[in-house]
Amino acid sequence: MTIQEGTNSGKTYEVDGAEHRAPAPPANVNANASGFREEFDIEHRDLRGGEFWRRIPAYSQVPTEMFLDHTWQLKNSITSVDKMLDTLRDIVTQEFYDDMKAGFAGAPMAVRVSPYVMSLIDWDKPYDDPLRRQFIPLSSRLLEDHPELHLDTLKEQDDSPVFGLTHRYQDKALFLALDICPVYCRYCTRSYAVGFDTHGVEKVKLAQDEKRYQSVFEYIRSQPQLEDIVVSGGDAYMLRPARIKLIGETLLNIPHVRRIRFATKGPAIMPMKILTDDAWYGAVRDVVDMGRRMHKEVVVHTHFSHPNECTEISKRAMDKLFADGIRCRNQAVFQRGVNDDPDTMVLLTRRLAYVNVQPYYVYMHDLVQGVEDLRTTLQKGIDVEKYVRGTTAGFNTPNFVVDAPGGGGKRQLHSYEHYDRETGISVYTAPNVKPGRFFLYFDPFDTLSEQVRKAWKDPKQREEMKQSALEAAKREVGHSTL
């Protein structure tokens, strides 16, 4: 809701269900003296509530208590194409139905969508819906992959001293504790491992295996420079409580480990688990409390990408985390048709801050196969970043980063050494992570001119384009004072 006319003084607005009235400014004060826009925008406080799931025939009889129960959500998550088709048969057009069926047939990721997510999708406009885009592939929207896309473009497996642990930066490491998630994202950067095997992809297995865990812990113990461990996967939402405790307590008891993050998309796709899974929640809270007593930080990192994912139910879940002193930060992925328009990104940023989730990162989309329709140009990211910065507190303003393909690590997106908008090549360096090396990122194939697309398909011209981008980047690096 935007209040349009005049200033907002004297208007009423809602906070936490209670009505407030803004007092008029003193008569001698010009409320707009500093040139602010005359209206203020409080749409981010307007969280979706009510029994929104009842619009879907399959959930029309589901009472609130059942919908808010995580076991019901898990049991009723859609894990097969047939079930998905079944659930939607009566509410989408035949055209959309066929499109979706063909879309699944070619998708490299496994299917799993929670009833919560299904209910947040606007099935009257399924082609444009930002959540549909993230979880449900359509054949008609599939675009040709960029020739530089491979499985595991981040080369996580190359920086793995032990299976399932990526140690790329000096003081922090990424522990992939499992390979399952409560919801599978079409665009998963770890589709080399996450989810069950699909047509094209036989996956690396990251089992929740005691022996594998022990070798990961042994490695971390042997590396005194490691202070920060990201526990991801897969998704920490799917870790059994005993595993959360085992991982948390073992890591906290390693003297040099100072910080742990549990990474989960959970709050964005099944917030009710935080409210009703007492065993899981209790395990997380106990690890956080144990860390606090040891003066070590244990936090939750989550993955909201669109403001529609954050509802009144999410707020209740985030309020519970906040009240228990569990900090939560967000990592969003920048996606075409999802959050690549500036107002949506501002809304997401403000809404997350409103529910006490700190917007930490917005990632340029990784070079993942089969999701070129979700990627944007680097230019788009640059433009939206400029628009978002300044709209709210600096500590709640996300860093826009590119995870440099080939293992350069996360780079601030404006810090490219060179960006050729015509060939779509940007070049980054990572002086601390991989000194002397250059990392190339590529704009989506369909955004390039026909002539350039042709050049990409010719091995000789492809090499020339990359070479010339590298040369330009090397000239830039020549200006560095380091």
What residue ranges bind ligand PLP (CB under 6 A)? Answer: 166, 168-169, 172-174, 230, 410
Nearer to ligand PLP, 84 or 230 (CB): 230
Q: State the pairing for strand pair 418-420/18-21.
A: unpaired
Q: How far is CA 476 from CA 411, 429, 471, in A?
A: 16, 11, 9
Q: What is the smallest separation between the CB atom of 166 and ligand PLP, expressed in angstroms? A: 4
Rounded Cα–Cα distance for residues 33 and 81 (Å): 57
Nearer to ligand PLP, 126 or 233 (CB): 233
Contact of 287 with 244, CB cutoff 8 Å: yes
Q: What is the smallest separation between the CB atom of 418 and ligand PLP, expressed in angstroms? A: 23
Q: What is the smallest separation between the CB atom of 187 and ligand PLP, expressed in angstroms? A: 16
Q: State the pairing for strand pair 297-302/328-333.
A: parallel
Q: What is the smallest separation between the CB atom of 174 and ligand PLP, expressed in angstroms? A: 4
Q: What is the smallest separation between the CB atom of 320 and ligand PLP, expressed in angstroms? A: 24
Q: What is the smallest separation between the CB atom of 172 and ligand PLP, expressed in angstroms? A: 5
Nearer to ligand PLP, 44 or 301 (CB): 301
Q: What is the smallest separation between the CB atom of 440 and ligand PLP, expressed in angstroms? A: 18
Any residues with CB less than 8 A from the CB of 458 and at least 6 apart, and which?
none
Rounded Cα–Cα distance for residues 192 and 205 (Å): 9
Q: How far is CA 37 from CA 5, 6, 222, 394, in A?
A: 11, 10, 56, 20
Nearer to ligand PLP, 107 or 154 (CB): 154
Nearer to ligand PLP, 87 or 397 (CB): 397
Q: What is the smallest separation between the CB atom of 399 and ligand PLP, expressed in angstroms? A: 9
Nearer to ligand PLP, 100 or 188 (CB): 188
Nearer to ligand PLP, 168 or 350 (CB): 168
Nearer to ligand PLP, 190 or 212 (CB): 190
Q: What is the smallest separation between the CB atom of 169 and ligand PLP, expressed in angstroms? A: 6
Nearer to ligand PLP, 230 or 238 (CB): 230
